[in-house]
Amino acid sequence: MPELPEVETVRRGLLPALEGAVITDVVVRRRDMRRPVPEDFEKRVEGQRVLSLSRRSKYILVLLESGEQIIIHLGMSGRIRIFEGNPEEPDKHDHVEFITDSRKCIRYGDPRRFGFVDLVKVGEESIYPPLVKLGPEPLDEAFNGTMLFERFKGKTTSMKAALMDQRIIAGLGNIYVNEALYRSAILPTKKAGQLSLKKTKILAEVIKDVLLEAIEAGGSSLKDHRQTDGELGYFQHSFQVYGREGEPCKLCENNHKSSRVKRIVQQGRSTFYCSSCQR
DNA sequence: CGCTCCACCTGAACGC
DNA sequence: TGCGTTCAGGTGGAGC
């Protein structure tokens, strides 16, 4: 499912159920995810109070009183749902479950198992492989066009690949890269190292705008993404190019040029864009 | 080192 | 109905 806005939506959904709660029981039904659930996961989590929930890129971090953090990644198809009291039977892809002292049941499911649930000690984020090379958070105060321009310097790869590269900027995925490039009028095939500072500054602001709007909308629901209460996000209705191959470009329409949205494949992923508006 | 490709895994949608 | 193919919101290791 998830890029930054979907993960942030899930984090916010978890807050009322988890923050301050004690995790009384943990059930692990499958351990063989992208990274295996640690053998002693249950022992290290049961009885722990949750102090806070944070997010780094597409990872959710659940801080425990013990000084360890549960790290949750949703991969492509992961989801988390919260039930009250005795929930319905788990389905075959519900792999990890947390029960709290206020009788909440938090269920992590991931059909493709590209995601994972792991534990990391506070302070060891800097040596924890999935987090080590992550670039800046686009919604941080410090993130801006000048910073992004520096990170693009010397890159011969495409804008599309550069924005998908989590080491350059963290949290974006295929949807939001497509949408941000369209709104910035930047061609996805343009070489990242050749983008002007002026355009990079526009891009940085557009990225913030798109992510904030998407979070406001509860993320984008295509197949798997649900908010933790089961509700759909609705940012997919705001897509301008993603999944719109062949439809008229909304900017062109106004200029009476009416180009259509094109689809190409870059790095094995679909790119949607308007060859007239994006340069 | 920088970059591209491909595998990882399951299910849904589509064509025949 | 069934079967084969293609595609999917991510990541990171192999290979050039």
Q: pLDDT digit string (tens) for A110-137?
A: 999 999 999 999 999 999 999 999 999 9
Give distance CA A89 / C1' C15 (Å): 45
The domain locations on chain A are 4-126, 145-273
**Nucleotide at minimal C1' distance from the A267 CA:** B4
What is the mean predicted confidence (pLDDT) over A88-105? 96
Which residue among the candidates A34, A35, A260, A269 is catalytic per the annotation?
Answer: A269
Q: pLDDT, tens digit, for every residue of A241-261?
A: 999 999 999 888 766 667 999
pLDDT category of residue A185 using cuts at 50, 70 and 90? very high
**Nucleotide at minimal C1' distance from the A174 CA:** C9
Question: Does A229 score more than 90 pLDDT?
Answer: no
Give distance CA A77 / C1' C2 (Å): 26
Give distance CA A115 / C1' B8 (Å): 11
Q: What is the pLDDT of residue A167?
A: 97
Q: pLDDT, tens digit, for every residue of A195-210?
A: 999 999 999 999 999 9
A29 Cβ contacts chain B strand, under 7 Å: no
Question: Does A155 score more than 70 pLDDT?
Answer: yes
Q: Which fold, A4-126?
A: N-terminal domain of MutM-like DNA repair proteins (3.20.190)
What is the mean predicted confidence (pLDDT) over A163-173? 98
Return the CATH number of the domain spanning residue range A145-273.
Answer: 1.10.8.50
Which residue among the candidates A2, A111, A130, A138 is catalytic per the annotation?
Answer: A2
User: How far does Cα A70 stand from its chain's mean position?
Assistant: 17
Q: What is the pLDDT of residue A92?
A: 94
Question: Does A106 score more than 80 pLDDT?
Answer: yes
Residues A184, A161 contacting (CB under 8 angstroms): no
d(CA A279, CA A276): 7
- Rounding to the nearest 10 degrees, give the CA dihedral for residues A34, A38, A39, A41: -130
Question: Does A169 score more than 90 pLDDT?
Answer: yes
Question: Does A61 score more than 90 pLDDT?
Answer: yes
| Catalytic residue status for A269 | yes
Residues A52, A19 contacting (CB under 8 angstroms): yes
What is the mean predicted confidence (pLDDT) over A215-241? 88
Q: What is the pLDDT of residue A122?
A: 96
Beta-sheet pairing, A68-73 with A22-28? unpaired
Question: Does A63 score more than 70 pLDDT?
Answer: yes
Which residue among the candidates A3, A6, A8, A179 is catalytic per the annotation?
Answer: A3
Residue A141 has φ and ψ, to the nearest 5°, of -55, -40
Q: Which residues contact A9 (CB under 8 A, 6 or more apart)?
A: A215, A218, A219, A225, A227, A233
Structure-block tokens of residue A266: 């870059």
**Nucleotide at minimal C1' distance from the A193 CA:** B2
Strand C neighbours with CB under 7 A? A 1-3, 6, 34, 57-58, 73, 75-76, 112, 114, 129-130, 133, 164, 166, 172-175, 219-225, 233, 268-270
Give distance CA A258 / C1' C10 (Å): 34
**Nucleotide at minimal C1' distance from the A6 CA:** C9
Q: Which residues contact A70 (CB under 8 A, 6 or more apart)?
A: A45, A61, A62, A64, A117, A118, A119
- The mean pLDDT value of chain A amounts to 95
Residues A97, A38 contacting (CB under 8 angstroms): no
Which residue among the candidates A5, A6, A55, A58 is catalytic per the annotation?
Answer: A58
Give distance CA A258 / C1' C12 (Å): 40
DSSP state of A87: P
Q: What is the pLDDT of residue A254?
A: 65
pLDDT category of residue A225 using cuts at 50, 70 and 90? low
Q: What is the pLDDT of residue A253?
A: 75
Which residue is closest to B9 in terms of CA–C1' distance?
A112
Question: Does A1 score more than 80 pLDDT?
Answer: no
